[in-house]
Every structure is written in C-alpha cells, then in structure tokens.
C-alpha cells in the first residue's frame, strides 16, 4: 500500500468508460467551453442567491464565500450502492449499540474488547449521562460516515461522525441545482432521488420523542446562531422540516420541561436537534461560561422531559482512538463481519506503533485524535522536510494525541478544470438516520480536492463539492 | 451518631435578575454509613422539577425563577443517623466507571509540584490503600489550613504553591495528586459536625478509588477518613461539578451570597 | 406554526430597515434638490445639515468628517458608510442579516428580494464613485424598497410573521414621515422671515417630491402650497399612504389581527388605538397651535413608545 499509488479513476481507465458513467463522458466532452462557463456562473449565481455559503474557521475574509461546485456528477451503480448502504447502516447500528453499552453496563470493556481507559478516560465520554437511557436507546441519530474508494470494490471508512455531521444541505442543494441546470441528464439517466431526506429526518426525530410527550412532538433545531459557519444548513433543515430554529436564549427550563419563547408565550419542546457541542449545551452541567446553552436543559433531558439528538456523550463513539475498534464493535454487538473496512491505523500512544510512525512519517497521514476539518493534519508524501520535522516534534511531545494511517490511493472522478476535464480525488459522506428505523438516502456529499494531485478534500482547505448520483435499480 | 443539619443559603441580586436557574445536589447519599430520618429542602418562589438520580448516585433537582428575581433563599433542614465506616462508601449504588474520574480538569490539573508530591508520597507506601493514605497525608502536610488565603477559583496547583488553603483546596489537590498517578479520585461535598478541630460545617473532601474496597473518603484538612461526624451529599470532578448548588442567572445584577450552617448532635439537644 | 419571539423581532426589524433605507434615500433627495437653489437661506451647508439633523445622524457625521459638509461626504455617509448604522448600505445589510436569521419565516421570493438587494449593494460599493450619480443611488434604493415590499405583500403567508413585518414597516414609515416633515423646521430655523416666500414653497415642494407625493398633493389639494395643506396631507389625510394617521391605522390593523389570532388583547393594541384616536380627533390648526416641530417631536416619541410596548409584549417572549 505504500508504493507509489495508482489511482482508481471512477469513470474508467485507459479510455474504457465504466457503466455508471456511460454517456456522461460524451456529455462533458461535447460541452462547448462557452456553454460550460455560462452554466458554471449560473450555478454560482444560484448558490449565492439561495445564500448557501461557507465561512472558513479563523480565516476571516469573505463570510459569504461559496464552496466551489463542480458540475460533473459523481456516480454509483445500483449494486455498488447496495454494499455501501448495508455497510453504513451496519456501522451506524454498531456505534449506537456501543454508546448504549458504555453508558450502561460496559459489557464490551468487561469482555476485554476495548481498553476501558480509551473509553472512560476519553474527553468525549460524559460522566453526566451515565445510566441515562435515551428514548429508543439511540444516541447518535445522524451518523455521517466518511468513505474513500481505492478500487472497483474497495471502500474504506476514514472516520465516523456521530455528533452533528454537517454538509447534508449541500447534498440536497447540489441535486436541486443540477436538476435545474441539466434537466435532460435526469431524463436520460434514472437517478435515485434524495429529496425526502428532510422528511426522513423529521420522522426520525419525531420517533425519539420522550415517553412524557403526549401527542405530536414539538421539534426544534438548536443553533449556536447566525454567525456559525453552518447556520445556512441549520435554517435550511428547519425550513424543510417545518420546525423552529432556536438559539439557547429562546429556550428556558421550567419544572420538568423545556419551553421556547414564542410570541404567544411559552411552548413546550419535546425533541431538540442540537447543532452545538456538548460542552455548551447547559452551563449548569458542562462549561459554566457557556452563553449558547440552556441552563437546566441537561436535568430536563436526564429526567426524561426532552430528547436531545444527538444525545450528549455520543462523541465518544467517533473519537479517532475508538475508530480502530469499530470492526470489533460490529462483531461484538451484531455478530456480523464488517462490510466496510477500516483504514489500518497506528495509535501513536502505543510504543510499537509510535516507533513505526516516526520512522515512516514521509509516507503516512497523521491526524490529531480530536482534530477535525483537515486541521492539525500531516500528509507525509505531500509535505516538506521542514513540515515533517515539526510534526515529528509534536508527536514525540504528546504521542497519545495522534494517530497515523497509510496514504490511501483515493479514487478520482472526472472534474471540470480550467484545461477541460481532469481526474481529481474525491471522498463521500452519506448520512445515516437512526430512530425507530435505520434509513439511508441513496446519495451523500461528495467532496473533491480541486488542486491537482491534492488528497485533502476539506472545504476549509480549498475542496469543492459535487452532486452524487446513485443509479436507480 | 444522630446529626441535625440547618443550612440556609441566601442570594441577593442588585438590580434584580431576569431569571435564575439552579441545579441542586442537596440530598444525603444513600449508603450504609448514613440513614436519613427526615430531610427537607425549601425554596420560596421556585418552580421545581426535573429531578432524577444521576449515574454517580446523587439525587439532583432543578429550581427556576422566572421574571424579576431579587432574592433566593434555600433552606435545608434534616436529621441523619450516621455510622463510622472508616471512609468506605459501602452500599452506595452508582454506575459511573471509576476510570471516568481519571481526567484532569481546570481545578485538578497537576503541576510539576503536585506530580512530585504525589510520586514521593506513594514511593514505598505499599498497597493501593496505603498509597491513598500517604497521598492524603502528604497533601494535608503541604497545605496548611488557613481560611481567607484562597478563594473559590483557586486551583490545586495554586493552592499547593501557596502552601495554604481550606478544605476545597485540600480536596482539589488530593484529587489532582491521585489522578496524575492514574488513580481514580473525586471531589465530595457534605456536612461536618465539628467540635474543636477544623470547623467547617459545610465541608468538602476527596474520595479515592481503592480496588476491592471501592471508593474511600479522605479528609486531608482533618487528616482523617470520614466517620460518623460526616454527612455525604454528592460528588464530581471538582468543586464546580460537585457543587450542592449550581446556578446561572440572567441579567446584569451583582450577586451577593450568605451561608448559615449548623450541624449538631441531635442527642445533645 | 409557532413564531419564536426573537424571530418576530427579526421580522419587525426587516420591516423597519427596509423602510429606513428608503427614508435615507428620500432625505438624500431633499438635500440634493434643496442644494440646487441659490445660496440664500443660510447656505449650501444649511441644506445638508438639515438633512443630517432630520436623520438624527448629525453628531456621527461631524465626528467622522469634522463638519466638512461637502455633498460627496454627506452622500457617502448617508448611502455607503458602514459606520453609520442608518446608511442605506447598513440598513440593507441589517435587513438581509435579519432575514438570514429568520429565513424559515420568509418565502423564498422574499429572501431572494432581500438577498439580491444586498448583493447589488455589494456591487455598488465596488463601483467607481464617478460612475454613480446621486439620482441613480436614490432611484436604486426606492426601486429596491418597492420590490421587497411588493414581494412581501405578494408572497408572504398571512400569518403572525406577516403582521410583524408590517408593524415594523408602518411604525418606521410614521417615524420617517414625521422626520422628513421636520426637515423644514431645521432648514428654516435660522431665518423665520422666509415663511411664505418662493424659497419656502420650493422647500415644501421638495419634501413632497421626496415623499413621492407631489403629484398626489396637487390632485388632492391643488393650488398654492401652504404649510397647513402639507401638514394636513402628511399628518391627517387618510388617503395619503405615508401620512401619520394612515401608518398608525395600518399598524393598528395588524396589531388587531395579531390579537385575534392569539386570542388575546394586550397593552399594544390599546396604545395603538389611542394613537389613532388622537390623530383622528385633531385638525391642522391644533397642530400649528402646538407648533409643528413640537407636534412632530411628540409624535416621534409616541411612535417609539408604541414600539417599546410591542417589544415588551411580543418580542421579548417572557413567560406570560
């Protein structure tokens, strides 16, 4: 795996076009440059008009920056998707079983399958919710599984996102814009729809209302506010689901329940889809200085007056140190073999692994255990000696904070670039919903590294997005 | 011993606040060392609810005040029959794995000085119980009981550096010393019936997890393990996490607080 | 669907900011037309100062430009200045930011109108100033305001959110009419002898023009322009879309709709009705007996008090 990688091109190699892309090659090749440019600016204008923009953390600059949208779709055949569908659902199920277990009896630790210190000493493990069983035993209601592909039949899970994976609004808006710009493509190809995602999310949230809730549950999305880079998504989802979009200041606790301040007075809230971190949910339970949260909310949650999605404490399942053990979880809780593989991972906290990692830094990808968004990450083969030396020192100082993985030969997908069409590396994040049922819409967010040769697809690092098609059966 | 508690906490806000929310942890723990004969928590004007027993075994309740709030008075009265178990928390039902407490927080971050003190104390101290005793003793010796030198925000490291402090500082430092050795430890709050010795009726100490025995209390301030003079209320990572009353108020008012506690031997009344 | 108190406040402010942007553009028009006159009523400086006084931003302007009252400075300050919270750019920006927060309560057309206004403003900011005439800027603002208002009227559901948009709009408009009328007071302040002269008429006419009401006025009253006719038209005439009484009645109507929908009448409805009743019960001579400036100052106070009560009752969301 460490030799010079040969990348799998999803459209096909050496001129042969793989079936799902049939027709698209000529569509793209025959597109006059002028037409393409018109369409590209049309897409941009549409994105800007609907206000779907993205602010990059800590970079300042234009808060209304657009994530570049590439018009060339990323396509899966029906049978390719079937495997992903089963694999992602299997994972989401196991992760939830794990959470229910480690906040309950801790069987997996007692059985010696995962070291207790990795789980219980983990920053994301919340002592405050031990012994609290959330409705239907679900902790992570929206599981975003980040996948990469390395061959026709090879998929790897890069990481799981059990807290509040973002980006689903792009999945929906990318499709909306493609359908508007290229209706003929959708007539010619049978592409599975994704637009019922908000309805499924609403159903999922309704299904986890607490027992104390009588009648139709009132659902609200809790956002940190309109300065948050994902605010568009929060308001988009609230709108599509027909639920209130609240900030901490809109909610208050009274007796056994939580209420929102409306123009008609207080209204009880039964399910909160929160898009803020655990630490900020409730200053009476977590960070005392939080201004974003609701004082007393955790007490209402723990006494069964409100459901919170994702449940506080869900983060312990998507920690990069726990990631290594997900295949083990699948076997332990489901008695099944994992359908999707993990990327081989070295834990720098283990002496043997550390030794290997330090000796092979130039070939590896090194990540911070708690990092996200492509920050604090080293891509060995694409780094200078200086950058590698700096990381070397960081790892030595705090080995437990790092994991390393081989540089994967990420698949490429044809992408419109200045010179025409060229392969660029892509990944995929499908969004799995867990409530009364486990659901996965056929699609997801495809991120693309627009710079030639780059393997970093994060939008905060210059990545773009594509519409993701799953061909209907 | 039959202990009688009277504990009144009063908050005054000037100008009045627009709302106050509190999380209360004011009920005696249920374990073999104490039996509650009667216990009342009264708060005038509060809307109360959202009560439950948490994973650490503490009863928790929520009190909120809506609209303009000038004063909040919390009255705790009750009688508890206590038994000396040499600090062992026998028969206490809890679900939190001890390892969950091995986590450094803002108050219990171990400075080099704490680390050294801890390592020196346990060297040659024998079994885990012996080590726990040694840690408590070392902390008690390193920080002289001196009221007024530290405040609610003082961390373990600061207290050790100053060499002076009160029960909160002893408890934080003992927790910090234990967890830097990967020994589970936590902060405990409660009451103390004190005749002579260090008189803090509203008291705090630490618990250290000892394999085979479970959680064992250590009061570094008084250099003893909690006995029949102690009433245990609840626990947490540190003084904020374990606080008997944790509150947040909305508004620009300044808060002043007064506390009045007596813990008496009911048989001598 | 329930409306969050905070979101009702956002809607209320969208209504206000859109109208405020228009007011500022209208003030710019008054200033620019008045300044075309020969220097006789206290000078060029005076025309612009009166505009700044009326918009309530004279102090801020002075702090920034040290009283260098060049047309270009005033125009920059009133149209583009990000430091001036009442500039057209700030108002459009704030309206759009409020809209962004409360997207869920707006139709996509309304959002589109507000967002497009904002994007166009960004474009104007980037355009070289020599290519933009004052008239273009004023026209753009009035056209944009009309587009947004029209979209709101045409597409928004007739639910509580719609009422809050309109209450904000009409309260701001009442305030704006009162302030524009008051410009006359500031212009004439130095020399009272001008009353009834050609210059006086010219200034009144400019104010009518700025309120897009000069032709309506001719149609309704005809003949000589007098202070009494103008005051009657802009304060007491129910047919004038910007008169104080029209604005008060519209705000009252929307407040009554809220009370019906929520099945609860509050202090806000009472105060709004009082305001309407007061305006219905007076004649133009009562206004001049009190003094036009005094009357307008008092009215501005009453409007802002009504706004405070509405905020108290609906927009804070305290438990009731």
Residue A346 phi/psi, 5-degree rounding, is -100, 130
Q: Say whether residue C260 is in contact with chain A using an 8 A CB cutoff.
A: no
Q: Say whether residue C140 is in contact with chain A using an 8 A CB cutoff.
A: no
Q: Note the CATH architecture for domain A346-406.
A: 2-Layer Sandwich (3.30)
Chain centroid to CA B156: 15
Question: Cα(C308)–Cα(C306) distance, rounded to whole angstroms?
Answer: 5
Question: Any idea where the domains of chain C sit in the sequence?
Answer: 5-315
Distance in Å from the first CA to the final CA of chain A:
34
What's the burial of A284, exposed, middle or buried (CB within 10 Å: 0-12/13-18/19+)?
Answer: buried
CATH code, residues B85-236: 3.10.620.30
Query: Neighbouring chains of A at 3+ CB pairs within 8 Å?
Result: B, C
- Tell me the two tokens of residue A313: 């404490």
Q: Which of C5, C316, C317, C319 to mutate to test the interface with B (most CBs of B within 10 A)?
A: C319
**CA A175 vs CA A26, A132, A181, A411, A422: distances in Å:** 21, 39, 10, 22, 22
A238-288 pLDDT, tens digit each: 989 999 999 999 999 999 999 999 998 899 999 999 999 999 999 999 988
In chain B, residues with a C-beta closer than 8 Å to the C-beta of A285 are 23
**Mean pLDDT score across all residues of chain A:** 90
In chain A, residues with a C-beta closer than 8 Å to the C-beta of B102 are 117, 120-121
In chain B, residues with a C-beta closer than 8 Å to the C-beta of A130 are 54-56, 95-97, 100
Q: Within chain B, where are the H helices?
A: 112-122, 128-142, 156-162, 167-179
In chain A, residues with a C-beta closer than 8 Å to the C-beta of B49 are 254-257, 303, 305
- Tell me the two tokens of residue A262: 């409306």
What is the full per-residue pLDDT of chain C (320 aa) written as tens digits?
Answer: 689 999 999 999 999 999 999 999 988 888 887 777 665 444 445 677 777 877 778 888 888 887 677 778 888 899 999 999 999 999 999 999 999 999 888 998 999 999 999 999 999 999 888 888 888 999 999 999 999 999 999 999 999 999 999 999 999 999 999 988 887 766 654 444 555 566 677 778 778 877 888 888 888 887 778 888 888 999 999 999 999 999 999 999 999 999 999 999 999 999 999 999 999 999 999 998 888 889 999 999 999 999 999 999 999 876 44
d(CA C141, nearest CA chain B) in Å: 39
Q: Which of C317, C318, C320 to mutate to test the interface with B (most CBs of B within 10 A)?
A: C318
Whether the pLDDT of residue A1 is over 60: the answer is no
Same fold, A211-305 and A346-406: no
- Using the beta-carbon criterion (under 8 Å), do A127 and B62 form an inter-chain contact? no
- Using the beta-carbon criterion (under 8 Å), do A256 and B19 form an inter-chain contact? no
Which of A51, A242, A263 has the CB atom closest to C314's CB atom? A263
User: E strands along A53-132, which residues?
Assistant: 69-76
C56 CB-near residues (< 8 Å, 6+ apart): C86, C179
Which of A49, A254, A262 has the CB atom closest to C5's CB atom? A262
Q: Name the DSSP letter for residue A316.
A: G
Contact B81, B30 (CB under 8 A): no
Q: Is A416 helix (H, G, I), strand (E, B) or coil?
A: strand
Q: Is A233 helix (H, G, I), strand (E, B) or coil?
A: helix
Q: Say whether residue B93 is in contact with chain A using an 8 A CB cutoff.
A: no
d(CA C86, nearest CA chain B) in Å: 28
In chain C, residues with a C-beta closer than 8 Å to the C-beta of B66 are 318-319
With tokens 């005033």, the residue in question is: C74
Q: Say whether residue A283 is in contact with chain B using an 8 A CB cutoff.
A: yes
DSSP string, chain C: ---BHHHHHHHHHHHHHHHHHHHHHHHHHHHHHHTTS-S-SS-HHHHHHHHHHHHT-HHHHHHHHTT---HHHHHIIIII-TTSTTSHHHHHHHHHHHHHHTGGGS-HHHHHHHHHHHHHHHHHHHS-GGG--HHHHHHHHHHHHHHHHHHHHHHS-SSHHHHHHHHHHHHHHHHHHHHHHHHHHHHHTT-GGGTTSHHHHHHHHHHHHHTT-HHHHHHHT-S---HHHHHIIIII-TTSTTSHHHHHHHHHHHHHHHHHHHT---HHHHHHHHHHHHHHT--HHHHHHH-HHHHHHHHHHHHHHHHHHHIIIIIS----
Q: Say whether residue B211 is in contact with chain A using an 8 A CB cutoff.
A: no
CATH code, residues B2-81+245-268: 2.60.40.2250
Max CA pair span of chain C? 59
Number of H-type helices and E-type strands within chain B: 4, 12
B112-140 pLDDT, tens digit each: 999 999 999 999 889 999 999 999 999 99
Contact B263, B3 (CB under 8 A): yes
Chain A, nearest residue to B241 by Cα? A285
Whether the pLDDT of residue A58 is over 60: the answer is no
The whole-number pLDDT of residue C192 equals 47
Q: Say whether residue C257 is in contact with chain A using an 8 A CB cutoff.
A: no
Whether the pLDDT of residue A148 is over 90: the answer is yes
A164-211 pLDDT, tens digit each: 898 899 999 999 999 999 999 999 889 999 999 999 999 999 999 999
The whole-number pLDDT of residue A336 equals 97
d(CA A256, nearest CA chain B) in Å: 4
CATH 3.30.420.40 fits A211-305, yes or no: no
Question: Cα(A428)–Cα(A121) distance, rounded to whole angstroms?
Answer: 31
The whole-number pLDDT of residue B10 equals 96
**CA A4 vs CA A28, A440, B234, C125: distances in Å:** 30, 35, 59, 50
A402-420 pLDDT, tens digit each: 889 998 888 999 999 888 8
Considering only CA atoms, which of A21, A9, A22, A4 is closest in space to residue A412? A9
The whole-number pLDDT of residue B252 equals 86
**CA C277 vs CA A57, C299, C305: distances in Å:** 54, 13, 16
Q: Which residues pair with A412 in a beta bridge?
A: A9, A425
Question: Cα(C221)–Cα(C229) distance, rounded to whole angstroms?
Answer: 7
A349 CB-near residues (< 8 Å, 6+ apart): A321, A399, A400
Q: Name the DSSP letter for residue B110.
A: P
DSSP string, A425-443: EEEEE-EEEESSSEEE-S-
Considering only CA atoms, which of C130, C9, C156, C24 is closest in space to residue C77? C24
Question: Any idea where the domains of chain A sit in the sequence?
Answer: 19-210+306-343+408-470, 211-305, 346-406
Q: Say whether residue A245 is in contact with chain C using an 8 A CB cutoff.
A: yes
A330-365 pLDDT, tens digit each: 999 999 999 999 999 898 988 999 999 999 998 898
Number of CB atoms found within 10 A of residue B76's CB:
22
Chain B, nearest residue to C318 by Cα? B67
The whole-number pLDDT of residue C58 equals 81
d(CA C108, nearest CA chain B) in Å: 36
Question: Cα(A341)–Cα(A156) distance, rounded to whole angstroms?
Answer: 5
Query: Neighbouring chains of B at 3+ CB pairs within 8 Å?
Result: A, C
The whole-number pLDDT of residue A3 equals 46
Numbered ranges of CATH 3.10.620.30 in chain B:
85-236
Question: Cα(C260)–Cα(C317) distance, rounded to whole angstroms?
Answer: 18
Q: Say whether residue B21 is in contact with chain A using an 8 A CB cutoff.
A: yes
In chain C, residues with a C-beta closer than 8 Å to the C-beta of A242 are 1
Q: Say whether residue A336 is in contact with chain C using an 8 A CB cutoff.
A: no
Question: Cα(A391)–Cα(B29) distance, rounded to whole angstroms?
Answer: 49
Distance in Å from the first CA to the final CA of chain C:
19
The whole-number pLDDT of residue A420 equals 86
A60-70 pLDDT, tens digit each: 445 567 788 99
Q: Which residues pair with C314 in a beta bridge?
A: none
Q: Say whether residue A359 is in contact with chain C using an 8 A CB cutoff.
A: no
Chain C, nearest residue to A50 by Cα? C112
Q: Say whether residue A302 is in contact with chain B using an 8 A CB cutoff.
A: yes
Contact B78, B2 (CB under 8 A): no
d(CA A438, nearest CA chain C) in Å: 28
**HSE (CB half, 13 Å, CA atoms) of C279?**
27
Residues A158-165: what's their mean pLDDT?
A: 92
With tokens 């009657």, the residue in question is: C232
Contact A308, A135 (CB under 8 A): no
Q: Is the dihedral of CA C86, C88, C90, C94 positive or negative?
A: positive
What is the full per-residue pLDDT of chain B (269 aa) written as tens digits?
Answer: 999 999 999 999 999 999 999 999 999 999 999 999 999 999 999 999 999 999 999 999 999 998 899 999 999 999 999 999 999 999 999 999 999 999 988 999 999 999 999 999 999 889 999 999 999 999 999 999 999 889 999 999 999 999 999 999 999 999 999 999 999 999 999 999 987 655 678 999 999 999 999 999 999 999 999 999 999 999 999 999 999 999 999 888 899 999 999 999 988 76
């Amino acid at each position: 795996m460490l030799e010079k990688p040969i990348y799998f091109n999803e459209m096909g190699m050496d001129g042969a076009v793989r079936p799902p892309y049939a027709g698209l090659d000529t569509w793209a090749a025959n597109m006059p440059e002028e037409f393409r440019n018109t369409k590209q600016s049309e897409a941009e204008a549409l994105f800007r008009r609907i206000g779907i923009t993205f602010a990059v953390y800590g970079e300042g600059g234009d808060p209304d920056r657009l994530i570049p949208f590439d018009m060339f779709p990323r396509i899966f055949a029906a049978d390719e998707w079937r495997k992903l569908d089963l694999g992602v659902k299997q994972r989401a199920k196991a992760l939830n079983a794990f959470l229910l277990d480690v906040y309950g009896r801790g069987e997996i630790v007692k059985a010696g399958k995962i070291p207790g210190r990795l789980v219980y000493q983990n920053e994301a493990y919340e002592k405050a919710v031990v012994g609290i069983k959330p409705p239907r035993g679900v902790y992570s209601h929206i599981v975003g599984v980040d996948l990469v592909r390395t061959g026709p039949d090879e998929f790897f899970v890069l990481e799981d996102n059990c807290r509040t994976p973002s980006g689903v609004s792009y999945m929906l808006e990318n499709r909306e814009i493609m359908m508007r710009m290229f209706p003929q493509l959708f007539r010619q190809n049978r592409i599975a729809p994704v637009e019922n995602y908000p309805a499924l999310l609403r159903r999922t949230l309704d299904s986890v209302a607490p027992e104390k809730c009588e009648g139709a549950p009132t659902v609200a999305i809790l956002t940190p506010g309109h300065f948050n880079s994902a605010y568009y998504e929060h308001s988009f989802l609230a709108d599509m689901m027909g639920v209130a979009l609240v900030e901490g200041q809109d909610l208050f606790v009274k007796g056994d329940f939580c209420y929102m301040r409306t123009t008609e007075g207080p209204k009880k809230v039964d399910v909160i889809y929160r898009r803020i971190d655990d630490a900020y949910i409730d200053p009476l339970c977590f960070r005392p200085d939080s201004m974003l949260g609701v004082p007393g909310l955790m007490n209402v949650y723990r006494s069964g007056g409100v459901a919170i999605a994702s449940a506080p404490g869900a983060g312990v399942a998507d920690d990069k140190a726990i990631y290594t053990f997900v295949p083990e979880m699948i076997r332990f809780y489901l008695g099944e073999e994992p359908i999707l593989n993990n990327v081989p991972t070295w834990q720098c906290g283990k002496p043997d692994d550390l030794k290997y990692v330090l000796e092979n830094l130039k070939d590896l990808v090194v990540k911070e255990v708690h990092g996200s968004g492509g920050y604090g990450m080293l891509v060995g083969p694409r780094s200078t000696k200086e950058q590698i030396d700096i990381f070397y020192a960081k790892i030595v100082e705090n080995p437990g904070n790092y994991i390393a993985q081989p540089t994967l030969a990420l698949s490429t997908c044809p992408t419109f670039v200045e010179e025409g069409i060229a392969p660029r590396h892509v990944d995929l994040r499908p969004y799995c919903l867990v409530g009364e049922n486990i659901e996965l819409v056929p699609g997801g967010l495809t991120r693309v590294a627009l710079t030639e040769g780059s393997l970093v697809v994060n939008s905060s690092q210059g990545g773009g997005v594509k519409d993701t098609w799953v061909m209907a059966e | 011993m039959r202990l009688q508690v009277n504990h009144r906490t009063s908050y005054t806000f000037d100008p009045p606040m627009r709302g106050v929310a509190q999380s209360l942890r004011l009920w005696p723990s249920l374990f073999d060392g104490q039996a509650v004969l009667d216990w009342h928590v009264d708060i005038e004007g509060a809307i109360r609810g959202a009560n439950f027993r948490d994973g650490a075994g503490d009863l928790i309740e929520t009190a909120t005040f809506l609209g303009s709030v000038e004063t909040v008075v919390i009255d705790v009265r009750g009688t508890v029959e206590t038994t000396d178990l040499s600090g062992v928390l026998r028969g206490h039902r809890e679900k939190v794995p001890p390892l969950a407490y091995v986590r450094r927080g803002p108050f219990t971050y171990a400075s080099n000085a704490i680390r050294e003190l801890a390592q020196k104390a346990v060297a040659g101290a024998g079994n885990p119980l012996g080590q726990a005793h040694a840690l408590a003793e070392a902390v008690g010796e390193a920080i002289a009981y001196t009221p007024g030198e530290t405040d609610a925000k003082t961390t373990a490291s600061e207290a050790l550096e100053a060499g002076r402090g009160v029960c909160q500082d002893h408890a934080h430092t003992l927790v910090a010393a234990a967890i830097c050795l990967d020994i589970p430890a936590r902060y405990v709050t409660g009451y103390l019936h004190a005749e002579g010795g260090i008189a803090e009726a509203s008291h705090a100490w630490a618990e250290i997890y000892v394999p085979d025995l479970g959680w064992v209390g250590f009061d570094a301030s008084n250099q003893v393990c909690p006995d029949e003079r102690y009433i245990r209320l609840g626990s947490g990572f540190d003084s904020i996490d374990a606080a008997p009353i944790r509150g947040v108020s909305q508004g620009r008012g300044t808060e002043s607080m007064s506390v009045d506690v007596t813990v008496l031997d009911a048989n001598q009344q | 669907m329930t409306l969050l108190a905070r979101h009702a406040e956002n809607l209320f402010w969208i209504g206000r900011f859109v109208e405020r942007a228009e007011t500022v553009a209208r003030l710019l028009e008054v200033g620019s037309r008045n300044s075309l006159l020969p220097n006789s009523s206290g000078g060029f400086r005076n025309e612009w100062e009166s505009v700044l006084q009326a918009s309530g931003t004279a102090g801020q302007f002075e702090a920034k430009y040290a009283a260098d009252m060049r047309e270009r400075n005033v125009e920059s300050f009133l149209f583009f200045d990000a430091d001036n919270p009442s500039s057209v750019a700030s108002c459009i920006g704030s309206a759009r930011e409020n809209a962004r927060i409360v997207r869920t309560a707006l139709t996509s057309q309304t959002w589109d109108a507000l967002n497009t206004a904002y994007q166009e403003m960004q474009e104007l900011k980037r355009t070289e100033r020599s290519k933009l005439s004052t008239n273009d800027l004023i026209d753009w603002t009035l056209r944009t305001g009309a587009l947004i208002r029209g979209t709101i009227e045409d597409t928004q559901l007739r639910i509580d959110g719609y009422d809050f948009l309109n209450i904000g709009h009409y309260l701001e408009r009442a305030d704006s009419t009162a302030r524009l009328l008051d410009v006359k007071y500031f212009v004439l302040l130095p020399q009272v002898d001008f009353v009834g002269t050609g210059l006086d008429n010219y200034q009144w006419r400019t104010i009518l023009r700025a309120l897009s009401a000069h032709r309506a006025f001719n149609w309704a009253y005809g003949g000589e322009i007098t202070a009494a006719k103008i005051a009657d038209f802009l304060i007491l005439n129910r047919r004038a879309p910007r008169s104080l009484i029209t604005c008060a009645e519209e705000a009252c109507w929307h407040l009554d709709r809220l009370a019906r929908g929520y099945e609860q009448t509050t202090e806000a409805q009472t105060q709004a009705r009082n305001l309407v009743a007061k305006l219905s019960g007076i004649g133009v001579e009562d206004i001049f007996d009190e003094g036009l400036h005094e009357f307008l100052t008092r009215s501005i106070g009453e409007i802002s008090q009504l706004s405070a009560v509405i905020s108290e009752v609906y927009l804070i969301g305290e438990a009731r």
